[in-house]
Structure 1
Amino acid sequence: MLLNFRSLFNAGHANRIRKHLVQCLCSRHGQPTESPIQLKGHDLLTLQNYKAEEIEYLLWAASDLKERIKHKKEHLPLLQGKSLAMIFEKRSTRTRISTETGFALLGGHPCFLTLQDIHLGINESIMDTARVLSTMTDAILARVYKQGDLEMLAQEATIPVINGLSDFDHPIQILADYLTLQEHYGSLKGLTLSWIGDGNNVLNSIMLSAAKFGMDLHIATPKGFEPDPMVIQIAEDYSRKYCTKLFLTTNPLEAANGANVLITDTWISMGQEEEKQKRLKAFQGYQITMETCKVAAPDWTFLHCLPRKPEEVDDEVFYSPQSLVFQEAENRKWTITAVMASLLTDYSPQLQKPTF
C-alpha cells in the first residue's frame, strides 16, 4: 500500500497516518489467523477499494455467521465490550435494524445517532465529530447524503468507518445482493445482471464490483439519468480486465434480454422529492413486469433493495416465486454483521468457503 505522506502531513492528519500504517501492516504481513484475508482496522467506503478475494471473504463470513447464529443457535460474543456509532442523516428500515441487531448479536453496543442527537456538521465539524467518536467507540457506520462527508469522517477517524449509504455508493446493500445470488444460484461467476432504472448509488456499487466476480452487466436508464461517466469508465476498465460484458442502453427490454437477474430501485431517492413528476415521466416504460421477464433467462430472479413502489415493479413480479427481495432484505443483517466482525476482529469462518 503506497501512502501519500506529503498530503497527509500537509493536512495534519496524524491520526489518519497511524490508522493507515496499521492497515498497511495488516495487509502486508497479516496477523495470526486461519483466514488468509485480513481486514481488521480497514474502512468500507466503497467496494471499488476491495479486491475480489476480500469481497469473497466478507460473503464467506456472512454465510458462516448466518449458519452458526441463525441455524445452529450459537452464541458468538465477538464484539463483547465494543460499541458502534451509527450516524443517520437519512432514515432507514433495513440499514438500522440489520446493523443494530447484528452488532448486538455479537455482544456489542450500537448507538443510534440522528442529526437531532449530535452536532454533525452544524454546531460541530465533521472532523471534530470523527475525532471525538474515535475516543469513545470502536467503529462508525454513517448513512449520509454526501460521499465527501463520509470520506472526511474516514480521514479524521482512527477507527473503521463503514458506508451505510451515500449519494455515490451503497456497498453494504450490494454485499447482501451478492450473498442472496450466491445462495440461490450456487455461484456468481457467469451470471448476467440487468439493471433497469436510475443511474444511482446502488447501480454505482454494482458497476464497481460485479466484474470482479465474472458477472456481465446490462444497464438500461432513461436519457439524462445515466450512471456517472467516471463510474462508467471504471466499469469499462474492469470489464476488460475480468473479461466480462458491460452493455448500456435506454431500452429496458434490450437490457433484460437473456439476463439471469433483473434489478431495479426507487426512481425517486430521498432528497429528490421535488423531481418526482419529472422523474415519473422520464421513467415511463421502465416498470419491470412479466413482459420484461419473458425476454430474460429461464432461471430469472428479481432483486430490489426496498422500499419498493408499484411503478418500479408490478405485484406479479415483486411477489412471484422468482422474487428474492425478502431473502435479500434478511441478508442485509448477515452481511453487515460480517463486515463489522471482519473490521473489528480477527474472525475466521469455520464453514467451507462457498463457490463464487
Structure 2
Amino acid sequence: MPRHLLTGLELSADELHALLDRAIELKAAPHSSTALRDTVVALIFEKPSTRTRLSFEAGIVELGGHPMLLRSGELQLSRGESVKDTARILSRHVQAVGVRTGPDELLEELAAEGDIPVFNMLTAGHHPCQALADLMTMRETFGTLEGLKLAYVGDGNNVARSLALLGGLAGVEVAVAAPDGYQLEAECGATLTDDPAEAVAGAHAIYADVWVSMGDEDTAAARRAALEPYRIDDALLDRAAPGAVALHCLPAHPGEEITAEVLYGERQRIWDQAENRRHVQKAMLELLLAAPR
C-alpha cells in the first residue's frame, strides 16, 4: 500500500523528528541524494502558487526526479472526468502526485482510488508541508523543539490547523489567538484564546498569515475589520519570550497582518521558512517514495 501525506498525522512522532533531521541534512548537502532518480512526480495546481511550486519543482530535480506540472484546466477533471478515473490514470504514468486544491475530499479520493503516494500541497483544511517547514525553522533557530511554544495570531485557517496538529505531534505547545467566528476548532489540540497578548506570553515563535486568503475576497472588508487587533509588530514580539522570532507562511501584506519592520527586520525567520519548504519536502518525498541512495 502506498504511503500518503494528507494531513501530516500519517506520521508518527518518531517519523516526524526523523524527517526533520533528514531535512537539515539535505539542506547542508542539497545534491547528496538521488532518491527520485527515474521518478516522475505529478504536481497538480488548481490554486496559484509561488513557494509551493518553486520548492517542489526545484526539490524534485535536486533528488534526480522529474516534476510534471499540471495546471488547473489542463486535466479532464475540469470537464467532468471523475477523480476515481483520474487516480487510475495517474497511477499508470507517474510515481506520486501532489495536489494544491480546495476540497480535502478530492485528495482523499485520489489516495483511496490510486496506487501511488498522494501528498497535500494545500487544501482548505490543511497545509502540512508548510507546517513541516515551520517546525524545521524552529529547530534550526532554537536547536531543539523540546519546550518550545508557538503562538499563531489571526484567522484560524488551514495553516493554523496544521501547526496545531503537527506542532502537537512534535511536542511543541501551540496557542492560537483569533476573534470569535475565526477561531480554530478545539479538537486540534491548541490552546485557544481571543487575546493576542495571552497567546504570545512565553512564546518562542509568533506566527501570522494573510487576513484575506484565496476565496475570501467577497468578505475582505469584514475580515480586515475583525482581524485588525491580530497584527504582529514589535510591541507584540516584546510580550513573547526573550529572543522570540516572527514567522509567516507568505505571501505577506505589510501593514495588515505583520508590519514591514518585523517582516524585513532582524526578529524574523520568515525567509528561512520559505527556503526550508524545499528541504523538508525533499525529506518527505524520500519517505513516501524511496530510501536515500
Please, what TM-score do these two structures have when normalized by structure 1?
0.80
2:292 equivalent to 1:292? no
Name the larger-Rg structure: 1
2:47 equivalent to 1:63? no
What is the 5 A alignment of 1:166-245?
166-227=123-184, 229=185, 232-235=186-189
- Contact in 1 for aligned 2:43/2:98 (Cα 8 Å): yes
**2:81 paired residue number:** 124
Q: Deviations over 1:116-174 (max 9, x none)?
A: 21122533111111110000000000001000111011111100000000000000001
* Separation of aligned partners in 1, 2:45 and 2:18: 27
**1:337 paired residue number:** 282
What is the 5 A alignment of 1:1-356?
19=1, 41-69=2-30, 74-120=31-77, 122-227=79-184, 229=185, 232-235=186-189, 246-310=190-254, 311-347=256-292
SS of aligned partner of 1:49: coil
* Separation of aligned partners in 2, 1:213 and 1:137: 31
Please, what TM-score do these two structures have when normalized by structure 2?
0.96
Following superposition, the deviation at residue 234 of structure 1 comes to 4.3
Q: Percent identity?
A: 39
SS of aligned partner of 2:266: coil
* Separation of aligned partners in 1, 2:25 and 2:118: 23
Following superposition, the deviation at residue 347 of structure 1 comes to 2.5
* Separation of aligned partners in 2, 1:323 and 1:165: 24
Q: Deviations over 1:294-348 (max 9, x none)?
A: 1111110010000001200001111121210000000001011111122111228
In the alignment of these two chains, the number of paired residues is 292
SS of aligned partner of 1:248: strand
> Which deviates the most, 186-195 or 113-122?
113-122
* Separation of aligned partners in 2, 1:347 and 1:178: 22
* Separation of aligned partners in 2, 1:175 and 1:285: 27
**1:5 paired residue number:** none
* Separation of aligned partners in 2, 1:269 and 1:319: 21
User: Any unmatched runs of 5+ in structure 2?
Assistant: none
* Separation of aligned partners in 2, 1:258 and 1:326: 23
> Which deviates the most, 53-62 or 303-312?
53-62
- Contact in 1 for aligned 2:87/2:114 (Cα 8 Å): yes
* Separation of aligned partners in 1, 2:150 and 2:218: 30
* Separation of aligned partners in 2, 1:184 and 1:211: 18
* Separation of aligned partners in 2, 1:122 and 1:339: 32
* Separation of aligned partners in 2, 1:48 and 1:85: 22
Following superposition, the deviation at residue 55 of structure 1 comes to 0.9
* Separation of aligned partners in 2, 1:184 and 1:117: 41
* Separation of aligned partners in 1, 2:37 and 2:146: 36
SS of aligned partner of 1:327: helix
* Separation of aligned partners in 1, 2:257 and 2:121: 23
* Separation of aligned partners in 1, 2:274 and 2:227: 25
User: Any unmatched runs of 5+ in structure 1?
Assistant: 1-18, 20-40, 236-245, 349-356
* Separation of aligned partners in 2, 1:80 and 1:141: 18
* Separation of aligned partners in 2, 1:278 and 1:257: 28
* Separation of aligned partners in 2, 1:201 and 1:312: 16
